[in-house]
Amino acid sequence: MNLLNRLMLATLQLIPKRLMRPFAMRYIAGETLDDAVRVVRAINSNKRMATMDVLGENVAAEEESLGAVRACEDVLHAVQEHRLDANLSIKLTQFGLKIDEEFCYSNMRRLLEIAKSDHNFVRMDMEDSSTTSATLALYRRLRSEGFENAGVVIQANMRRSEEDIGGLISMRPNVRLCKGAYREPESIALTDREAIRSNYLKLLRLLFQSKCYVGMATHDDVLIRAGHRLIQEMNLQKSEYEFQMLYGVRTNLRDRIAAEGHRLRIYVPFGEAWHLYSIRRFKENPQIARYVLRALLFRG
């Protein structure tokens, strides 16, 4: 990240939440489950799927984790009650991964049991590199116990990802493949844009060849076009993959993908922890951050 972008993001973090909120809410469904249900209904009305995410991560107390589990249970019940075409994404540090791994496992298992009874699905998001091994180990454990309704995420910027996929292939995982949102040391992560794109496509081909269901999570035109070519080359059916995009981001591209007949899932975050999520999104996309900062500095 260049100096200008670092200064811009540092400035944004000093701006009061009340001023940031109107801009953040373009990318977040709202603070309540009712807000998220309303947004997902609208998404479903356009023949698109959703995944719902209760914002929050890196909790420090077990009671806070249990509150997050209850909030995620409410999401699953709401999906069932309102007959939404949606599943759930969670972060394991919100479920207590850094407090106690057995505690986190019990929380995750509890949630998967509910999802399984409702014929629903829960994806474990991938966080920074300090959690990668523990996340994959927990995923393998849960799959070995019969929870086929659990999914995982692989980040194309991580040098270890090809080896990680090799360790999962035998169970044919349901994978969300993304570039990777966290800043990591160059010793363990690719930092060059073209190198990340190249690795993304290498991993995508490997997953498809292994008959894994893949959610191609990207807003990158280059990767989307290459993904299209790979789908055609391998003669994949539309039931064997989906595209995934963030709520509020590149809506024209989203419409084009759907119009071409591909399965499309929108990632719908909501909750009171919207501010930290927004700052991370701005770090990923300085262009959005620049727009927000300009609008705030030259209001009225």
Catalytic residues: 125, 176
- Residue 261, CB-side half-sphere exposure with 13 Å CA sphere: 5
Nearest in space to 27 (alpha carbons), one of 290, 270, 293: 270
Among 28, 84, 82, 83, which Cα is nearest to 56's?
28
HEC string for 5-65:
HHHHHHHHHHCCHHHHHHHHCCCCCCCCHHHHHHHHHHHHHCCCEEEEEECCCCCCCHHHH
User: Cβ-count burial of 261 within 10 angstroms (0-12 exposed, 13-18 middle, 19+ buried)?
Assistant: exposed
- Residue 209 is inside which H or E element, if any? helix 193-209
